[in-house]
Amino acid sequence: MGSFSRRDFLKISSITLLGISASKFIPAQEDEPYFTAPLIWNGSRKLKRMAFTYDDCYLLNKMQDLEVLLNEYPEFKVTFFPVGSKLLNLEEQDPGIWKRLVEKGHEIGYHTFDHVNLGVMSPATALMDYDKWHGALTQVLGREYNVHFVRPPYDIISYTMDVLCQERGLVATLFSIGGGGEPDIVTRAIQRGKGGDIIQMHIRTQDYNSSVQVYPWLRENNWELVTMSTLYDDYLREQANSMGCDVGTGISLTRTCVE
C-alpha cells in the first residue's frame, strides 16, 4: 500500500470514499445511506491507469489462457475475484496456479466461497464465509495473504457487506465499466474509458476474447493496468494532500487542517 500503513489505509478509506459514481452497464445504485464502509466504483481520474478485474474464475482453461496472455504483457497487473470453491478446485487441477499469479504481481480479492449473495447472509454467516474463503486462499498460496477488496456476487450492495468490510478491513469494489458482452462492444467501451476506471470481467470465453482484443490497444496507447491496491492507493493519495489533510472536507487524520 505504498507509504500508507494498513491503519492509515483503513482510517483514510473511511472518510474519503465519498465520490460515488454510477456504473455504465448496470442501473445506478444509490449510495446506500447505511453503507458506511469504504466502497469504490472507480479510482483517480487523473492517472492513465485502469484496474481490470476478473470474477468467479470457474474455468481452468480460460484462467490458463489468460495467464499466458498476461505473460505477454508483464507490465499489466490485474485483480482476480475467485470464489473459494474454485480456489481449491483450480489448485487441484493446476497446482501452483494461484501462487504463480500472485508472484507475477496480480492480486486476489474475496467473492464468497460459493457465489452466494451476501445480502441474504447474516453478518455472522458472511464472516464465517469470508474466513472459510480466506482459509482456502492461505492453503493454495501456502502463506498468509492480506486481502483488501471484496467484489459482491451479483454486484449487490448490502448491510451484511458493510459489516463484513468493517470487521475484516475490506473495501467494497464495484466497477465503472462492466457487464461483459461481445468483444467488439467491450473493446469500444474500454477505448472510451477514463483514468481510474475499474473494468469488470469474468473468467469466460467472451471476456477472455475481449482481453485478447483490447490489451494490444491499451499497450499501444500507453495505458497502465494496475491492481486494485494500486488503484485504491492512488485514490487515497489524491484525497489526502501532503499535510495528510483530506482535501475538500478539511478533515485531518492526525492534526488540525487549515483550509
Binding site for Zn ion (CB under 5 A): 55-56, 153
H/E stretch holding 251: strand 251-252
Which residue number, 103 or 114, has a Cβ lying nearer to Zn ion? 114
Residue nearest to Zn ion (CB): 55
Which residue number, 56 or 197, has a Cβ lying nearer to Zn ion? 56
Q: 39 near 31, Cβ under 8 Å?
A: yes
CB of 153 to Zn ion, least distance (A): 5
Please tell me the distance from the alpha carbon of residue 242 to that of residue 254, in angstroms, as a whole number: 12
Which residue number, 110 or 215, has a Cβ lying nearer to Zn ion? 110
Which residue number, 153 or 183, has a Cβ lying nearer to Zn ion? 153
3-state secondary structure at position 129 = helix
Residue 41's contacts (CB-CB under 8 Å, 6 or more residues apart) are 20, 21, 22, 23, 174, 175, 176, 198
CB of 146 to Zn ion, least distance (A): 22
CB of 20 to Zn ion, least distance (A): 21
**By CB neighbour count within 10 A (0-12 exposed, 13-18 middle, 19+ buried), where does 204 fall?**
middle
CB of 202 to Zn ion, least distance (A): 7
Please tell me the distance from the alpha carbon of residue 211 to that of residue 213, in angstroms, as a whole number: 5
